Amino acid sequence: MKKFLKHYRLPVYLSILIVIFICFFIIYHFVSSVAINRDREIEIGNEIIFELHSYFLDNGKFPDDIYIIENIYKKVFSLNDVDLMTTRPFYRSLGDEFILEYIYGFDPPYLFYYSKNGVWEYGFPLY
């Protein structure tokens, strides 16, 4: 029995290392692809925020009409060569503030921007 264990010790350790390596690779790939997607969404979201602030400076309020929001989306998406059918943030007007949020799935946490804080957060929305 000892000869058997001594003989197969290296293949067992090697197979365990291979399984661990594969697990780390899968986790790394998942985390890095999520980060890349979020960076692109934040970049497009920042351009939408710029357009919303431009609208606020021109009109004294943030838009609450869906057609104005659609025009802002079309403008930003065409400048970035992004298809209009891709995931776009949901916009909520709160009077002199607004929320942009990317919703994936049914349950939070979501990626959202609350204009009062002025930063992108990944968590639970504040409404």
User: Is 5 part of a structural domain of the chain?
Assistant: no
User: Is 105 part of a structural domain of the chain?
Assistant: yes
Q: How far apart are CA 12 and CA 32, in angstroms?
A: 30
pLDDT for 58:
92
User: Is 9 part of a structural domain of the chain?
Assistant: no
Task: Give the number of domains in the chain.
Answer: 1
User: Is 76 part of a structural domain of the chain?
Assistant: yes
6 falls in which pLDDT band (50, 70, 90)? low
Where in the sequence is the domain holding 82, given as residue range(s)?
A: 38-123
User: Is 21 part of a structural domain of the chain?
Assistant: no
90 falls in which pLDDT band (50, 70, 90)? confident
Provide the whole-model pTM. 0.65
User: Is 75 part of a structural domain of the chain?
Assistant: yes
Q: How far apart are CA 12 and CA 2, in angstroms?
A: 15
User: Is 78 part of a structural domain of the chain?
Assistant: yes
Q: What is the mean pLDDT of the chain?
A: 78
User: What DSSP element (H or E) covers 1?
Assistant: none
DSSP codes, 86-109? S---EEEE-SS-EEEEE--SSSS-
User: Is 20 part of a structural domain of the chain?
Assistant: no
